[in-house]
Amino acid sequence: MRGRTDRVAAPRPVRGRTPERLRPHRRPEQPRTWEHDISLTDTPQTTRPPRTVAFVAYPGLTLLDLVGPLQVFSALQAAHDGFRVVVMSESRRTMETDTPLSVLPDTTFDQVPDPYAVVVPGGLVPTLTAMADQDLLDRLRRAAADAEIVASVCTGSLLLGAAGLLDGRRATTHWMFRDLLASFGATPVAERWVEDGPCLTAAGVSAGIDMALHLVARMTDERTARGIQLQIEYDPRPPFGGIDWGSVDTERHAPLAQRFLTEALADHPGLLARLHG
């Protein structure tokens, strides 16, 4: 009939079921990934004074010993207002490193009287010479006196040892100089990093990054440390694989280590004789 519109009745909803058009849209399930469990954007903040992580600078240090763990802790500082990161030395002056790049500490020992953590980088001849620098060793003793954590990278542990901070503790350092730790009352250990009480010592150079990530987990939690590892994309894959330590002839390198030591301590025969054993 003209003007009449045939109407089709809408289907009745089945009791207990929601009509399809009213159901909320659901995204398909996504597989969980590493990133689901880590984030630096929701790191808990704190209202208490920040804990100071102080890196020690001195002339001739190995740059990566310093900047590797420094990068890790700088990422922590950026994500968590509970930490403050500084580089301290005797004075705020430019210092040479074992690369063409120099460093300028942002503070002095006197300006950081009570650090939460102290991190000492290592080096080659200048670091070995610093084992006889009583002013520096006194500074390290005072900085470490009330610190919760005293850490080192590479031969930085020899400075801790010379300061008497590793006596009776397990420790490690660069493999070429590991046996020297025994002269300072420490027990040498061939591990990537060693934790004994408040002291953490890392093996050579790049091991400082591993130790720093472990320290971040200890200071906060593993989730935060994993977030920083992702942020700095620390996923080392050496082109020739890992080091086969079983095939490394350490005895063959002993004369070279002794030459460095003799050069470094030429003006300190007493300490040289002690280390030669």
pLDDT tens-digit readout, 125-155? 999 999 999 999 999 999 999 999 999 999 9
pLDDT tens track for 99-125: 999 999 999 999 999 999 999 999 999
pLDDT greater than 60 at residue 199: yes
List the catalytic residue out of 154, 186, 205, 209: 154
- Largest separation between any pair of C-alpha atoms in the chain: 120
Identify the band that residue 42 occupies on the pLDDT scale cut at 50, 70 and 90.
low
Cα dist from 139 to 8, 10, 70, 72, 145, whole Å: 91, 85, 20, 24, 10
Sign of CA dihedral 246, 249, 251, 256: negative
Provide mean pLDDT across the span 172-199.
97
Question: What proportion of the chain, given as a percentage, has pLDDT over 90?
Answer: 82
Predicted local distance difference test score (pLDDT) of residue 33: 54
Query: In whole angstroms, what is the distance from residue 108 CA to residue 127 CA?
Result: 19
**pLDDT (mean) for 216-231:** 97
Separation of alpha carbons 131 and 258, rounded Å: 15
Q: How confident is the model at residue 276 (pLDDT cuts 50, 70, 90)?
A: confident
pLDDT score for 213: 98
pLDDT score for 18:
45
**19-28, 94-103, 202-211: least confident range:** 19-28
Q: Across residues 47-63, what is the average pLDDT?
A: 94
Binning pLDDT at 50, 70 and 90, where does residue 187 land? very high
pLDDT > 70? residue 47: no
- Taking 60 as the threshold, does the pLDDT of residue 3 lie above it? no
Is residue 41 very low, low, confident or very high in pLDDT (cuts 50, 70, 90)? low
Across 242-269, average pLDDT: 95
Q: What is the pLDDT of residues 69-82, one digit of tens each?
A: 999 999 999 999 99
Active-site residue 199, yes or no? no
pLDDT at 9 over 80: no
**Does the pLDDT value for residue 245 go beyond 80?**
yes
